[in-house]
């Protein structure tokens, strides 16, 4: 980060053109705002690159009824990580057959709900789950459509907490040990399960597209082994999500077309060289659809200069609306919308209001020198894994979520009130 003015190219158009003071006055702060058009544009880029049948939005990155409807209108599938996400999707009217259900530890209740609703794909993560799927499917008289999740042993060059494709991962069946092949053979042989194909997700916030090509190689070796040993054709390979997003001005741009090209090339070339019919490739993007469309509005409440140490600019939210800096050391930009073009010579720590020293939103922010209490401060590119990982830590009510479309704001999730904080107490 630098003292230069905020680089507007990282924020989305509707966020830049909105009257943020008016939004803050009307809806309060902290406030999540989303550029609805930007999310639709990213969905359409994915559809153009892969085809609507081959894109599932990863709901874990941001989910609420309005988002489910947006995904539905754009014609995508929906990746649900839990029964809770699936519930939100179904309640909002999302077609069950377009839902992909994930999870390394799905309960009987979650599986039953999925099978009863007629969920299109269940990504099986363990032999225990396959046992359960056979039993529950038989009880309900349905044949679950199963993707076998495999762990390819590929390092994705991202934060280790969000890297999921390595041998150590808790997810999926390991390819190198032969467990993945055995699981696929089991599903193919089972009369109570339908083998839909393979699933592989190597991690999140990935820039090195080559990582995907290497994962495809591992998956295609497995496809060849499955076909050679069972005669089954593997029709689908879901290559997960994970495409990196530009959080900071110095980050590279997100290139959905290049990502698609890399995946398709790897699948086509790799299938040819193995004498296989190229399987269909599906993806599950989350972050790259919603991150840049979102921004968080905060109000500066105190400014404290500790001579020779740091200047703290404290805002009215914090790790309860954005835990990513504390969890992953994730970096964000900060700017004052009232002075968006100003130089930012003052190095500050943008802190939240929580009772922890680690509650920093931007530990190394630059702001205009005249930042004052009462200013509106914005962190752009907070649309992914912010609201979805928000908590009530310190009994801080969660912010509202506002979608902006055609310049008009609408609340899609209302702000929590103090009454909500005791809603579940008995
Ligand atoms: N598919 C699967 C199976 C996944 O596990 C994930 C993310 C995705 C798709 C979507 O990945 P995306 O395109 O959003 O990168 N809370 C962390 C990210 C955790 C990602 C978990 N899985 C963060 O804030 O960085």
SS3 340: coil
Q: Which atom of ligand 1 is nearest to the CA of 149?
A: 3
Q: Quick check: 392 pLDDT over 70?
A: yes
Instruction: Read off the pLDDT of residues 59-109 as tens digits, 9 standing for 90 and up.
Output: 999 999 999 999 999 999 999 999 999 999 999 999 999 999 999 999 999
The answer to whether the CB of 298 falls within 8 A of the CB of 27 is no
Which region among 128-142, 163-177, 214-228, 247-261 has the lowest average model confidence (pLDDT)?
163-177
Q: Quick check: 159 pLDDT over 60?
A: no
The strand pairing partners of 96, in sequence order, are: none
Which percentage of the chain shows pLDDT scores above 90? 96
Give every CB contact of residue 239 below 8 A, 6+ residues apart in sequence: 200, 201, 212, 215, 216, 219, 263, 281, 282, 283
Q: Which atom of ligand 1 is nearest to the CA of 242?
A: 15
Give yes or no: 43 in active site.
Answer: no
Q: Provide residues with CB under 6 Å of ligand 1.
A: 58, 60-61, 79, 102, 162, 164, 201, 204-205, 240-243, 284-288, 324, 328, 385, 389
Give the per-residue pLDDT at 1. 57
C-alpha 90/C-alpha 75 separation (Å) is 15
Q: For ligand 1, atom 23, name the residue with the nearest CA.
A: 385
Give the per-residue pLDDT at 278. 96
Half-sphere exposure of 340 (CA within 13 A, CB side): 16
Mean pLDDT value across residues 255-269: 97
- Record the tokens describing residue 71, joined without a space: 């995904």
What predicted TM-score, i.e. pTM, was given to this entire model? 0.97
Give the per-residue pLDDT at 167. 77
- Record the tokens describing residue 265, joined without a space: 């090339």
Give the per-residue pLDDT at 163. 61
Length of the chain: 426
Distance 143 CA to ligand 1 centre (A): 28
Query: Which of 241, 260, 288 should be mutated for ligand 1, with most atoms under 8 A from CB?
Result: 241
Domains and CATH numbers, the chain: 8-33+291-422 (2.40.37.10), 36-287 (3.20.20.10)
Please state the separation of Cα 252 from the chain's center in Å. Answer: 18
| CB neighbourhood size of 94 (10 A) | 23
Give the per-residue pLDDT at 161. 60
| CB neighbourhood size of 95 (10 A) | 15
């Amino acid at each position: 980060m630098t003292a230069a003015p905020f680089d507007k190219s990282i924020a989305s158009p509707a966020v830049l053109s909105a009257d943020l003071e008016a939004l803050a006055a009307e809806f309060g702060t902290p406030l999540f705002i989303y550029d609805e058009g930007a999310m639709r544009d990213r969905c359409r880029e994915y559809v153009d690159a892969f085809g609507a049948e081959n894109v599932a939005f990863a709901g874990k990155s941001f989910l609420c009824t309005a988002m489910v409807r947006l995904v539905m209108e754009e014609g995508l599938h929906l990746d649900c990580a839990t029964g809770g996400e699936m519930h939100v999707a179904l309640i909002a009217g999302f077609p069950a057959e377009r839902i992909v259900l994930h999870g390394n530890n799905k309960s009987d209740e979650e599986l039953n709900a999925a099978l009863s609703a007629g969920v299109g794909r269940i990504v099986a993560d363990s032999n225990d789950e396959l046992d359960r799927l056979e039993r529950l499917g038989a009880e309900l008289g349905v044949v679950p459509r199963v993707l076998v999740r495999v762990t390819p042993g590929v390092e994705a060059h991202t934060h280790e907490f969000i890297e999921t494709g390595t041998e150590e991962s808790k997810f999926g069946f390991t390819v190198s040990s032969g467990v993945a092949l055995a699981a696929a053979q089991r599903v193919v042989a089972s009369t109570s399960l339908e083998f839909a194909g393979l699933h592989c997700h190597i991690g999140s916030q990935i820039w090195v597209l080559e990582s995907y090509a290497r994962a495809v190689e591992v998956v295609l070796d497995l496809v060849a082994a499955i076909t050679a040993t069972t005669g089954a054709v593997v029709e689908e390979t879901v290559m997960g999500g994970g495409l990196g997003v530009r959080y900071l001005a110095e980050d590279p741009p997100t290139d959905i077309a290049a990502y698609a090209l890399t995946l398709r090339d790897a699948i086509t070339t790799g299938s040819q060289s193995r004498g296989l019919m190229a399987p269909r490739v599906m993806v599950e993007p989350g972050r790259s659809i919603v991150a840049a469309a979102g921004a968080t509005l905060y109000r500066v409440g105190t400014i404290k200069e500790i001579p020779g140490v740091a200047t703290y600019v404290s805002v009215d939210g914090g790790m309860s609306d954005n835990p990513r800096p504390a969890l992953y050391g994730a970096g964000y930009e900060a700017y004052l919308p009232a002075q968006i073009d100003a130089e930012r010579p003052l190095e500050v720590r943008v802190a939240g209001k929580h009772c922890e020293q680690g509650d920093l939103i931007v530990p190394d922010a630059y702001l205009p020198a005249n930042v004052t209490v009462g200013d509106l401060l914005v962190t752009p590119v907070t649309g992914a894994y912010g609201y979805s990982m928000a908590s009530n830590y310190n009994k801080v009510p969660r912010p509202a979520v506002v979608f902006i479309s055609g310049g008009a704001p609408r609340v899609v999730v209302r702000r929590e009130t103090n009454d909500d904080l005791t809603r579940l107490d008995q």
